[in-house]
Each structure stands twice: as structure tokens, then as C-alpha cells.
Structure 1
Amino acid sequence: MPKSDAPSKDRSTVRTLLRLWPYVRPVRTRLITAAFVAIVASCTGLVFPLVLKWMVDGPVADGDPAGVWLGALVLLLLGVAEALLFGLRRWLVARPLASVEAAMRADLFRHLQRLPVSFHDRWASGQLLSRGTTDLMLLRMFLAFPLTFLLVNGATILVGVIILLGQDFTLGLVLLAPVVPMVIACAYYEGRYTAVARRAQDQVGDLTTVVEESVLGIRIIKGFGRHRSQARAFRELSHTLRGTELVKARILASIYAVIMALPEAAIGAALVLGTVRVADGDLSTGTLVAFLSTALALRWPVESIGFLLAMSQESATATERYFEVMDAEPEAAGPRTADAAAPAAGGGLQFHGVEFRYPDAGPDAPPVLTHIDLHVRPGETMAVVGATGSGKTTLTALVPRLHEVTGGRITLDGEDITAMDREHLRTLVAVAFEEPTLFSATVGENVLMGAGKTAGEAELDRALEVAQADFAHALPQGTGTQVGEQGLSLSGGQRQRLALARAVVGRPRFLVLDDPLSALDVHTEALVEAALRRVLADTTALVVAHRPSTVQLADRVALLSGGRVAAVGTHQELLRENAEYAWLMSGADTPAEPTVEPTAEPTAAEEAAR
């Protein structure tokens, strides 16, 4: 999974955060209004010291109780006004920011669906999950609090400084003395904190991956007694994340130490100097009280800078991680060869000089498939047979464009599939994989996923009959029964039959089956094959097969060897004429010499992908 332990070198924090603008723009009016309300509320708090100055130098000094009560009433009204304004700000931002988070999450999910299979092969699911949850939560918090209060506190500090300098210029300069060292310290710690924050968020993604894999693979973990090793892996990642978080805490503590110590020292110095001047008669008591009250009112805006900057850095990292996924290129047509636009002769499914290599393969790596020329005639069923690693599954994945060909072309009824809209292509081609995937939905919803929106109970019952999946009617709620995550509440054979039903429910023109009967017992397999023959008679099908019983469903058989088509013929012809095919079908211990030598051993990545 591509990730970085350092922030992007060519994009500042501000430029990174500006990428959120398209999502913020629709709610900008409410956010700007909320920021203005917050500035007014914060500046209202700066009126308190001015009222105190009037009270100390006026009613208190003159012994006027009525004036003191008037001042207290003014302070009470100011406090109520400040509280109401901050409450209004919170109300203004709550709904729009929830909408922003929802829009970003929806865009991320849609984009993930459009990204090619090769992208998902490279990225750990936990990393993608953390971007859609933790990172978006950080961004919502940033828009709700740091973004607003960096502006609010900046405006408050500016107004406060003007008030301080207006009350006493000399004491104001004393309080401004720490500004330069604070700016230098913040700039020094910014880069360090950003790098550590990025590392921590990536480690959260790694930890999420381990948790997810442990939950989904709980049967394997328990079956092999690997709970201790999984717990150890979790502990090690947790310990690493803990160490990173402690580094973040140390950096943040250093920022806080500087930001809090220097202003406190300046306030202390101003207090001493102001007291001396009051004693000398150069400064009124009310002015000193108002000055110190204003300085204390500015403590929170100043001290919060470290916290707000830290949250901004984490939010910039979250933004960067979010757009790492959003910037990934969605599925695009594969490169065409020079003759890609030439009209194709005949109908059915045709492979014209098809070559394929995986996107992450090295430049010198040989292709997984090379010079594949194959014609499945309209209405014909072609079985694909070959040894493990010969490229059978890869070949079938090219038809619905789960992978893009890197050479040659594939046509359906004479039309190049790269010229078709993917959505249209996948309404023409239905697939069933050897490893069936079911979703946390009802049996009916899982099966009808392979049909159009108008499909109903009649289509569902027909598909279940073809796949010999009538067991669905005997479930507690029939076809309305929830099958649970990954369908693990069902047996392997039941899941495979439901996946087959999903493939045939839409009556597709082209059917691609990757060893769809491997998990069935021989009796159920015979029943499924008998029903499947009726479906295959009305469609053009490409079927990966390992067993003679599955091969006999086909009109013809293509033998793959070393990424090439070694032979094509009927099952009986190949048994008589091809030694490698006869060996594959016989299950003998000693292999025959392959008809076509493999071009090269597949790489580890290619073998894993197959």
C-alpha cells in the first residue's frame, strides 16, 4: 500500500487544506456567518476589562453603590450576550459540516467503486477504511473548530492588542515582546509535528487492517490456533502507534511550553512594571486592572494557537491522505494496438492477439498472457483448461474489464470492449468466480444483484432452480433471510450456488464462469450441470474448468499453457491428440511435457493475483 511517513514537499499546509474548498463552497455562507458571530462574541469578552476600568476608577473610587450595581448588570448582560452568540455559532455550523462530511464520504465510496482492481490489490482495506472514517472525522472537527477559531482568535488578539496599546503603550510593548520567539518556535515544530502526525495516521490504518483481517479470518485463526500470533502482531502495531503518539505528545508539549511560558512571563513583567507606575502615580488603578484583565482575556486565544495549529497539521495530513485515494485514476480504457479500430469478423466472443501483464510487474517481466487468439462462437460454450498458474482466471477477468488488456483486443459480437461503456458491457457479461462473495443482505438481494431493476420473484426462482439453490426457500425467512457478512453463515457449496444463480438471473448474452462448481459434491454437481446446460444453450459462455464433468458442459475446449493457447478442440479430440491435456484430465502423478513452453516463470505478484 503506497504511503509516506513525511508530508508532501511541494504543498504547504494551507495549499493542502484549500483542496477542501469544493466541498465547503456550498455551505460557505453559513460558515462565514458563524465566523463573524464568533468574532463578535469573542470581542464582546474584551469589553469586560473596559467596564471594570470604569467601575474601579468611577463608582468604586467614589463609593457609589448604584454605579457598582449598574456595572455588575452590564457585565451580566455582556456575559449572556457572549454565551448566546457562541451558541448561535455552534448551531450555524452543525448541519452544514455534517453535510460536508457526508458528501466527502459519498464521493470517496463512489470513487473506490470506479477504481481498477489493480488499485484494490495494492491497497490494504484498513488504510481505505481509516481514510473514510478517522480522517473524515478529523476534517469535520477542523472545519467546525480550528478553521473558525484560528480566524476568531487572530481577530481577537488583534483587537486586544489595539486595546492594550491604547490603554498604555509601554505596557503593551512589554506584552508584545514574546511574539517573535513564539513565531520562530511554531515554525520550527510545525514540520516535525506534520511528519509524526502522518506516520501516526498511517499506523492507525495498518492497525485497522490487522483488526479487520482478524475478524474476517477468525475461523482460520481459531482453526490453526494462531490467536497468540495475531495478538502479538496487534500488540506490536499498538506499541508502535503508542510510541508515535508519545512523540506527538512531546512535540505538542514543547509547543505548549513555549506558547504558555513566554506570554505568562510577559504578563508578570507587565504586572510588576504597572504596579510600580501606579505607586508612582503615573498610572491609574483602573487602567492597570483593565490592562491586566485584557491580557488575561487574551491568554486563551494565544495559548490555543498551539492546539489549533496541531489540529490544522493533522487535518492537512488527513486531507492529503483523502486525496491520495481521490487522485487515483479511475478505470480507463487500456492501450489499443494499431489495429484496434479495425472491424472484427464474426460474432460471439473473440480474443485477437491479446497480451496482458499486471500493472505492478517490472519492466522486464514477461506477460502473463501472450498472443491469445480465441473465438467463442455465438451460442457456444468454451471451456478453458490449464495447469495452475497458466493464466485461466486472468483470461476470464479481461472480458468484463476487471483488468485491461495490454496488447491486442477483445470483441463481443464484433465490437471492441474498450469502445463500450463499462456499465453497458457489464450488463452484457455476467461473471461467477471460484471464490463466491456474498454481501450482508438477504439471499434474494444477493442473487438479484446480477439482474436489472425490473427483475422480481419469477427471475429469482428460476435462477435458484438453475443453480440448484432451492435450499434458500427452506431458510428461516426464505429468500428474505440475511446471510451475514461474507455469507459465512452458509456452507461453501451454498455460497457457490447462490453466486451461480446471481450470474444467470439476468439471462446474460455472455457468461464467464471461473470453475463455478468446485465446492459442490458430485450429486449436486450433476443436478447443477443438468440445469446449467439449458442456460448455456442460450448464451455464449467461457468456463474455466478443472474437472472432466465440467469440461463436458462445453462444446469445445481451449488448453492454456504458459500463458498461450496450446490447443483448441473438443474434449475427446484433445484427449486423443494432446498429452498435456490428457494428463490434466487424468490426474496422473507424472505430468506430460507441455505442448507450449511457458515464456517465463510468473512473478510472485502475478502468481498471487491469479
Structure 2
Amino acid sequence: MQKAVSPPSAESLAPFDHLDHRYRGEHPVRTLALLFRPDRGRLALAVVLFTVKHSPIWLLPLITATVLDVVVQHGPESGLWKATGLLLFILVLNYPLHQWYVRCLGGSVRRMGITLRSALCRRMQQLSVGYHARVSSSVLQAKVVRDVEAVEQMMQQSADMGLGAVVTLVGGLVVIGFRVPSFLPVFLVVVPAAGFLVMKLRARLRSHNESFRREVEQLSSRVGEMTTLIPITRAHGLERTALGRVDGSLRQVFAAGLRLDMLNGRFGSLAWVLLNTLGVLCLTGSALVAYHGWMPVTAGDVVMLSAFFTVLTGSVTTLLGLAPILTKGLESVRSAGEVLQAPDLEHNAGKAQVEHVTGRIDFEDAGFAYDDAEPAVDGFTLSARPGETIALVGASGAGKSTVLNLLIGFIRPTSGRIMLDGADMAGLDLRSYRRFLSVVPQESILFEGSIRENVTYGLGDTDEATLLAALEDANAMEFVRRLPHGLDTVVGERGARLSGGQKQRLAIARALIRDPRVLVLDEATSALDNRSEALVQEALSRLVHGRTVFVVAHRLSTIQGADRIVVMDGGRIAEMGTHEELLGRHGTYAGLQPAFP
């Protein structure tokens, strides 16, 4: 029984611990060399094993020539048996050597695929939220799944087919050089001609492969968008519109794929005609040389040269046929490199770890601008005391979400600074800071797992009493008890089997069980009915107790209980005070009152 291929060790993944220092638009071949570095010994052994197991392909014409000469020249019969025995011995060796070769090569390629997928997933975790807002999740999924699969296929096929062609070419040319050296220059013409064809068409193949890849990524994005919008599409009877958008991408993929297939077809056909024409000329020439006695060439040599030209022509054709596969695979390496070298990172390396948080947050003239646009937040100054609840209100586009993103650390201020317990957050490792922070968004994000797994996500082993207490405080046990499997009930993809209020209460339980010091509520009740809102509000009242809370809400019941209300307008603070104070000023906040339900 064969030993299972071991997964990559921590050492094999080590080159990707500091990805921001590894990828700077380097050539994809260099990237592959880095990926295969831990398996260099196995790959070298695989090449040796393949050379031995593949030797019958290029030994057969030589043995055929030897046998034919024994027959024609009536040589010693022992020569016939020696040649036959040698060939049979190598043929029998093929099976165990092939199994060993597959184990070495297959294991290396699979480890490379796992390592590359791990590197991509790690990089996605390092990239900023702004990057993920710009790049479709479907495109990123395609890179992790489809592009890495294409790289694996390229390595497998180029190893099996390409290594076989190279070994056959080298072995055949060596035999010809020893047996009929005068014909070696003729054979050597084939390789430069093949190289010329590859170099001539490779640029066009690369551009067409890149174009095809972009169209497939666009299709992936369209399909992902379509599946997300199915409830809205069905509700408004827009099925034809949705299918029309996807059909447009399908037509573009078809056209790009057909162009690529036609180019590959012309490439392969031209190479086949040229190489076989050279083969016919070589056969005729060697026969004429033997017929007229111009050189010491035997009948066996003529047969050997003819067979070798057929074999070598097939090898060169195989190498030429690998060009599209290599081009596609290297383009997939470049595609993965787009993520691996993306500069939009959240830099935390080398910054101070946050070991304790009391909850004092100070915005000091903080501002943020997206690229070259007008500042989304400008001159924002606010001090939140530990345990204080701050509500942010204002019209759409006033900058509320940007302030929350600055607080969470999804983005860093482009002007001013934010202080956490007196320390500038620019010098802090935000990953360690977020251990003391929880977010309850407008739409709770759940994964397809059990209620237990969703609430304790990332916490490891959590005792049952702590979990039940968090669910009870979040008013979630009221519906969990009615579920068929209780805490082990699977909620479905994105919590599809739960109502909005139920998902929101699970989000609150998820926040409660982490006991955060800083809490962010982003319109946590805006999409709920009155009964669900009442249950969620009651749970929120327990959640906010003793914590520094920043809340964005469109419901008056959520806002008016805040210690301070910050009214934003155009990225700046327009007013600030309690609910009663702001109403008494008859300013911007008072004008917003009709908009609050």
C-alpha cells in the first residue's frame, strides 16, 4: 500500500509568512521556483526516475536497427537475444519506477497547490477592507480555485509530456551522434525551427490567454452577483434582465475562448505540417545515401533514422503543443500574483501589541480621503470616555460609516490621529486591538455552521454555561429552544434559515461572549420589525452596559438613550449633545427628527 502524501509542513509554508516582502511583479517562473523550493530533492529524483522508465521510447529504434542488421547481415544470433533481453528488462522496470515517479512528482505538485492557496488566503486576510470592497469576492475565489488548479495542471502536463519529449529528444540525438554522426546536424535543425515557432507565437498566445482569463473572471463575478440578487430578482420579476447580464458575459467568454482555440489550432497545425515534411525529407535522404553508398549507412540505420525522426518529430510537436498549456499556467501564476503583490495592505508587523483596553477613544482632528476625492471625514475631534455611548447621526454620505471604519481600524486617518487609551493607534497592531472590540452590523454575517459554531467563532473551546448565558442575555434562547437540534442546528448559508431578528440576536450573543471593551453598532435594528426590534433593543441594553459604544442608527429609540449624539454633515461635526439639548437648539438635529421612525 502506498504511503499517503503528506501535507506541507510549517517550514514549507514559511516563504509566505512575509508576503509583502516577496512579490514585486517578478517573473512567474521565479514564483514557481519559490513554491517548489522545499521539494527540490523530490523533483530531481522524479526526473531521474522518469529518464530511466522512459528509456524504451528512444532505445527501441536503436534495438530495431540492431535486430534488422543481424537479420540482413546474418550476424551472431546472440546479438538478437541481448538486445531483446535488455529492452524487456527496462520495460518490466517501468511499472515500479513509474509509481515512484508519480509519488515524487504528484506529491510535490499537490503541496505546491496547497501552499499557493494558503498564501492567497493569508494575503486576503492581510489586504485592507478597501481592497475587498473594490475587488469582487467571486474573482478572488476564482483565483484561489481555478487559477491554482490551472497551475497544477500545467505542472503535471508539462512534467509528463514535456519531460517525456525532452528525454526522448536528448536520448535520440545521443544515439544518432554515436551511431550515425553525419546525420546529427540534420536532426539539430528541427529544434531551432521549433524554438523559432514558439517564440513567434508565444506573445500572441499570452495576450489571448490573458484576455480569456479576464472574461472568465468577469463571468464569475456576474454569476456571483446573480445568485446574491436572486431574492430581489424574483420579487420584481427581473429574471430575464438577470439572465441577460449573464448571457452577455457568456457571449464574451465564448468569443474569447474561440479566438484562443483558433490560434492554438493554427499553431499546432503549422508545427505538425512543418515537422512531418522535414521527417519525409530525412527518410528520403537517408535512403538515397544508403542506396548510392555515399556514407557507411546500413539498412538498419535507415530504419532507425526514419523511426527516430518520427519519434523526435512527435517530441518536438509535443513541446510546441505545450506552449498554450504553459502560457495558460503562467498567466494563472500572474493572476495569483495580482493578489500576492497587491500593495493595499493593513500593515501591523512590528507595531505594539495591545494587551489591555479601558475604552477611551480620542479623535484628534482626524480626517480621511478616499484616493484623490474630497475628504469623507475632515477635522473630526471627539473624546469618548470609557463606558460612554456615542450615537452618530446624519444624512447619507455625512461620514458616519467612515468614522466607524476609522474606529475599527479598517482604514487609517490620512490626517490627524486617533488615540486609544492615550496611545496613537498608528503605532498599534490593530489585530490585537480588535480582540477587545466587537461589531454588530446592520446585517449579521453568519456562515453555514451550527448556532454554537457561529456564536463561538474564533474562540476555540467555550464552556456550555458561558455560551448559554450569552444567548440568554441576547434574547436568543427564546427561539433556539424551539429549533429541532437546539445549539447544533445548522443555520444555512449566511444564516438563510433564520429571520433577520434571529440572526441579529445571534450577532449580539457573538459580541457578548467576547466581553468587548469597545462596541460598534452599525444600524443594528434598522431592518427589523417592531417585535424583533424590541427583543434586540433589550439585548443591546445588556450588551452596551459598561462598554464604550459607538452607534449609528436611524431609529429614535436607539439614539435618544445615548450619552452624546454627534450630528455629522459633510464629513464634519455639525452639533453634539444629548437628545434634549440638541432638540432645544433647533438646529440640524431637530431638522432630522421627521426622518426618525
Residue 414 of structure 1 is matched in structure 2 by: 422
Residue 202 of structure 1 is matched in structure 2 by: 214
Quote how far apart the aligned CAs of 1:269 are. Answer: 1.2
Helix, strand or coil at the partner of 2:391: strand
Residue 226 of structure 2 is matched in structure 1 by: 214
d(CA) in 1 for partners of 2:33 and 2:194?
30
Residue 119 of structure 1 is matched in structure 2 by: 131
**Is the 8 Å Cα contact of residues 45 and 82 (structure 1) preserved in structure 2?**
no
Residue 549 of structure 2 is matched in structure 1 by: 541
**How does 1:76-91 map onto structure 2 within 5 Å?**
76-91=88-103
Residue 375 of structure 1 is matched in structure 2 by: 383
Which amino acid letter does the alignment assign opposite residue 341 of structure 2? D
d(CA) in 1 for partners of 2:90 and 2:170?
20
Residue 268 of structure 1 is matched in structure 2 by: 280
Quote how far apart the aligned CAs of 1:134 are. Answer: 1.2
In structure 2, the CA distance between the partners of 1:526 and 1:430, relative to structure 1 (3 Å rule), is: same
d(CA) in 2 for partners of 1:256 and 1:383?
67
Quote how far apart the aligned CAs of 1:322 are. Answer: 0.7
Residue 34 of structure 1 is matched in structure 2 by: 46
1:300 aligns with 2:308: no
d(CA) in 2 for partners of 1:419 and 1:143?
43
Deviation per CA, 1:576-601: give whole Å up to 9, x if none: 11332122223399xxxxxxxxxxxx
In structure 2, the CA distance between the partners of 1:80 and 1:522, relative to structure 1 (3 Å rule), is: same
Which amino acid letter does the alignment assign opposite residue 356 of structure 1? F
Q: Report which stretch shifted further, 84-93 or 198-207.
A: 84-93
In structure 2, the CA distance between the partners of 1:125 and 1:11, relative to structure 1 (3 Å rule), is: closer
**Is the 8 Å Cα contact of residues 171 and 270 (structure 1) preserved in structure 2?**
no
Relative to the length of structure 2, the TM-score reads 0.88
**Is the 8 Å Cα contact of residues 175 and 263 (structure 1) preserved in structure 2?**
no
1:464 aligns with 2:479: no
Quote how far apart the aligned CAs of 1:148 are. Answer: 6.5
**Is the 8 Å Cα contact of residues 366 and 381 (structure 2) preserved in structure 1?**
yes
Which amino acid letter does the alignment assign opposite residue 425 of structure 2? I
In structure 2, the CA distance between the partners of 1:318 and 1:347, relative to structure 1 (3 Å rule), is: closer
d(CA) in 2 for partners of 1:306 and 1:382?
67
d(CA) in 2 for partners of 1:536 and 1:276?
97
Deviation per CA, 1:556-610: give whole Å up to 9, x if none: 2111112111111111111111332122223399xxxxxxxxxxxxxxxxxxxxx
Quote how far apart the aligned CAs of 1:22 are. Answer: 2.3
Deviation per CA, 1:186-226: give whole Å up to 9, x if none: 21100000011111112111111122222232212222222
1:332 aligns with 2:347: yes
In structure 2, the CA distance between the partners of 1:512 and 1:234, relative to structure 1 (3 Å rule), is: same
Deviation per CA, 1:44-68: give whole Å up to 9, x if none: 4222122112211114542987765
Corresponding residue to 1:19 among 18, 31, 35? 31
In structure 2, the CA distance between the partners of 1:11 and 1:438, relative to structure 1 (3 Å rule), is: closer
Quote how far apart the aligned CAs of 1:380 are. Answer: 1.2
Residue 49 of structure 1 is matched in structure 2 by: 61
Q: Report which stretch shifted further, 553-562 or 249-258.
A: 249-258
In structure 2, the CA distance between the partners of 1:578 and 1:463, relative to structure 1 (3 Å rule), is: farther
Which amino acid letter does the alignment assign opposite residue 245 of structure 1? G
Which amino acid letter does the alignment assign opposite residue 308 of structure 2? T
Residue 257 of structure 2 is matched in structure 1 by: 245
The total of aligned residue pairs comes to 563
Q: Report which stretch shifted further, 194-203 or 513-522.
A: 513-522
d(CA) in 1 for partners of 2:160 and 2:258?
28
Deviation per CA, 1:67-116: give whole Å up to 9, x if none: 65665444333333345434432222112221111111112111101110
Deviation per CA, 1:208-257: give whole Å up to 9, x if none: 11222222322122222222222222222222112222222222223222
d(CA) in 2 for partners of 1:586 and 1:246?
59
Residue 515 of structure 1 is matched in structure 2 by: 523
**Is the 8 Å Cα contact of residues 17 and 315 (structure 1) preserved in structure 2?**
no
Quote how far apart the aligned CAs of 1:11 are. Answer: 7.4
Quote how far apart the aligned CAs of 1:422 are. Answer: 1.7
1:145 aligns with 2:145: no
**How does 1:225-236 map onto structure 2 within 5 Å?**
225-236=237-248
d(CA) in 1 for partners of 2:532 and 2:332?
51
Residue 601 of structure 1 is matched in structure 2 by: none
**Is the 8 Å Cα contact of residues 491 and 498 (structure 2) preserved in structure 1?**
yes
Residue 561 of structure 2 is matched in structure 1 by: 553
1:93 aligns with 2:100: no
Helix, strand or coil at the partner of 1:483: coil
Relative to the length of structure 1, the TM-score reads 0.86
**Is the 8 Å Cα contact of residues 500 and 516 (structure 1) preserved in structure 2?**
no
In structure 2, the CA distance between the partners of 1:11 and 1:462, relative to structure 1 (3 Å rule), is: closer
Q: Report which stretch shifted further, 63-72 or 205-214.
A: 63-72
d(CA) in 2 for partners of 1:454 and 1:434?
28
Residue 176 of structure 2 is matched in structure 1 by: 164
Residue 599 of structure 1 is matched in structure 2 by: none
Quote how far apart the aligned CAs of 1:447 are. Answer: 1.7
Deviation per CA, 1:335-379: give whole Å up to 9, x if none: x9xxxxxxxxx9722211110112xx3x2x220111111122221
d(CA) in 1 for partners of 2:39 and 2:99?
18
1:585 aligns with 2:597: no
d(CA) in 1 for partners of 2:44 and 2:368?
53
d(CA) in 2 for partners of 1:347 and 1:483?
33
**Is the 8 Å Cα contact of residues 177 and 266 (structure 1) preserved in structure 2?**
no
In structure 2, the CA distance between the partners of 1:96 and 1:173, relative to structure 1 (3 Å rule), is: closer
Which amino acid letter does the alignment assign opposite residue 461 of structure 1? L
Corresponding residue to 1:426 among 434, 443, 446? 434
In structure 2, the CA distance between the partners of 1:260 and 1:245, relative to structure 1 (3 Å rule), is: same
Helix, strand or coil at the partner of 2:378: strand
1:443 aligns with 2:451: yes
Residue 350 of structure 1 is matched in structure 2 by: 362
**How does 1:381-420 map onto structure 2 within 5 Å?**
381-420=389-428
Corresponding residue to 1:530 among 526, 538, 554? 538
d(CA) in 1 for partners of 2:188 and 2:270?
14
Deviation per CA, 1:516-555: give whole Å up to 9, x if none: 1123333343343334333323111111121111113312
Q: CA RMSD in A?
A: 2.6
Residue 6 of structure 2 is matched in structure 1 by: none
In structure 2, the CA distance between the partners of 1:155 and 1:191, relative to structure 1 (3 Å rule), is: same
Quote how far apart the aligned CAs of 1:161 are. Answer: 2.1
Residue 290 of structure 1 is matched in structure 2 by: 304
Unaligned runs of 5+ in 2: 1-23, 352-357
Quote how far apart the aligned CAs of 1:511 are. Answer: 0.8
d(CA) in 2 for partners of 1:200 and 1:570?
58
Helix, strand or coil at the partner of 1:507: coil
d(CA) in 1 for partners of 2:348 and 2:100?
51
**Is the 8 Å Cα contact of residues 175 and 266 (structure 1) preserved in structure 2?**
no
**Is the 8 Å Cα contact of residues 388 and 563 (structure 2) preserved in structure 1?**
yes
**Is the 8 Å Cα contact of residues 483 and 489 (structure 1) preserved in structure 2?**
yes
In structure 2, the CA distance between the partners of 1:227 and 1:347, relative to structure 1 (3 Å rule), is: closer
d(CA) in 2 for partners of 1:523 and 1:459?
26
**How does 1:492-507 map onto structure 2 within 5 Å?**
492-507=500-515
**Is the 8 Å Cα contact of residues 351 and 409 (structure 1) preserved in structure 2?**
yes
In structure 2, the CA distance between the partners of 1:174 and 1:544, relative to structure 1 (3 Å rule), is: same
